[in-house]
Amino acid sequence: MATIFGINLFALFGQLLVGLINGSFYALLALGLAIIFGLLKIINFSHGALYMLGAFGAYLGLNYLGIDYWWALVLVPIAVGALGILLERTLIRPIANEDHLYSLLLTFGIALILQGLFTHWFGSSGMPYAIPEELKGGTRLPFMYLPDYRAWIIVFSLSVCAVTWYIIEKTKLGAYLRAGTENPQLMQAFGINVPLIVTLTYGFGVGLAGLAGVLAAPVYSVSPEMGSNILIVVFAIVVIGGMGSIGGAILTGLAMGVVEGLTKYFYPEASTTVIFLVMVLVLLTKPAGLFGKEA
């Protein structure tokens, strides 16, 4: 086997690739979170719960409605997005002008309720969800066996991230969006329905969480706990990337996946902590995050 300085290179490459796959999930989730924070200034602590809801949506769709994986990939994010819109209209809107702290606590409450209900309904052991037929199997690379579904995760989530980034940063629609949230009065005066934009943006952001949930269903256990485990890591990623920076969230998500992969190779016990170490270091040297603008 190829080794250098006593490091098994093949194993290391394997870890890096696996890190990149995890990074794709992080990127997708961080993207949704960054959109919601960047454009709406809401700290959405229910993001993890909505991701869990996406995975359960796929599971329930398959078992009760006969919706297969591919349809779930389209329908579930829309359903989760719709629920997000409902939550925004009924609960989050009334406190839109209060301190950020309140939206954080409110959405934390929503997360507790969702997680509690699903634990009650489905237990905590997790539900099985099979990999779709088309993506079973894998490719043997020189250094590892890459399952097709994992490759699909990378390709698909990166495409979604890229398209979203393009829409927000480069198109007219995106410009309205950014302007509408930065200076609502002015945009309102121009005849643009700002509250509608806010609602739709929130719906889109949580829809991304739902999408990540569907994507995760075949590889991780569909369980009520899945969201709370990943949430605070994704939070850290958004902060490291610079809160509100769309591109920053995507890149940091991928990078942190790789960093985690490396840690798992050298010191696995610390793999869940390394991201927080990076976060401390970044915040102490670059307060606004790697890609954020100093306010």
Partner 1 sequence: MKLMRKTLIASALIAATGAAQAAEISDGKVKIGVLGDMGGVYADISGQGSVEAVKMAVEDFGGTVLGKPIEVVYADTQLKPDVGSTIARTWIEDEQVDVINGAVASSVTGAVTKVMTAAEKITLITASASHAFTTKACSPFNAHWTYDVVSLANGTVKPMVQSGKQKWFFITADYAFGHALESVASGVIKENGGEVLGAVRAPLGTTDFSSYILQAQSAGADVIALANAGTDMVNSLKTAAEFGVTDMVDVAGLLVFTPNAQALDPAIAGGMKLTTGFYWDMDEKTREWSERYMARMDGKIPAMPHAGAYSSTIHYLKAVEAAGTDDSKAVMAKMKEMPVEDFFSRNGYLRADGRMVHDMLQVRIKNADERSSDNDIFAIEKVIPGDEAFLPLEAGGCEFAMAMAKK
Partner 2 sequence: MKNKKLNLVLLGLALVAPFALYPVFLMKVLCFALFACAFNLLLGYAGLLSFGHAVFLGTGSYVTGYLMLTYSITPEIGILAGVGASALLGLVYGKLAVKREGIYFAMVTLALAQLAFFFYLQAPFTGGEDGLQGVPRGELFGFIDLNNNLTMYYFVLAVFLFGFLLIQRTIHSPFGQVMKAIRENEPRAISLGYKVNQYKLLAFVLSATLAGLAGSTKALVFQLSSLTDVHWFMSGEVVLMTLLGGMGTLWGPVLGAGTIVSMQNFLASSPLANYIHVVMGVVFILCVLTFRNGMVGELQKLIRKNF
Q: Which of 10, 71, 102, 276 binds partner 1 (CB under 8 A)?
A: 10
**DSSP-assigned beta bridge partners for residue 7:** 4
Q: Does 271 bind partner 1 (CB under 8 A)?
A: yes
Q: Does 108 bind partner 2 (CB under 8 A)?
A: yes
- How many C-beta atoms lie closer than 10 Å to residue 162's C-beta? 12
Q: Does 98 bind partner 2 (CB under 8 A)?
A: yes
Q: Which one of partner 2, partner 1, none is in contact with 179 (Cβ closer than 5 to 8 A by kind)?
A: none
Angle between helices 69-87 and 47-60 (to 10 degrees): 140
Q: Does 6 bind partner 1 (CB under 8 A)?
A: no
Q: Does 26 bind partner 2 (CB under 8 A)?
A: no
Beta carbon nearer to partner 2, 120 or 170: 120
Distance between CA 294 and CA 280 in Å, rounded? 17
Q: Which one of partner 1, partner 2, none is in contact with 97 (Cβ closer than 5 to 8 A by kind)?
A: none
**Going by C-beta distance under 8 Å and a sequence separation of 6 or more, which residues neighbour residue 51?**
29, 209, 210, 212, 213, 216, 226, 227, 230, 231
Closest Cα to residue 211, out of 95, 38, 58, 105?
58
CB of 225 to partner 1, least distance (A): 6
Q: Which of 39, 43, 50, 212 binds partner 2 (CB under 8 A)?
A: 43
**Residue 63 DSSP code:** I
CB of 249 to partner 1, least distance (A): 19
Q: Which of 16, 82, 110, 151 binds partner 2 (CB under 8 A)?
A: 110
**How distant, in Å, are the alpha carbons of 55, 80, 86, 286 from that of 202?**
19, 11, 10, 28
Q: Does 230 bind partner 1 (CB under 8 A)?
A: yes
Q: Does 24 bind partner 1 (CB under 8 A)?
A: no
Asked if 220 and 230 count as a contact pair (C-beta separation under 8 A), the reply is no
Q: Which of 126, 174, 184, 247 binds partner 1 (CB under 8 A)?
A: 126
How many helices (H) and strands (E) would you count in the chain? Answer: 11, 4
Q: Which residues bind partner 2 (CB under 8 A)?
A: 43, 91, 94-95, 98, 100-102, 105-106, 108-117, 119-120, 232, 235-236, 239, 243, 269-270, 272-273, 276-277, 279-280, 283-284, 287-288
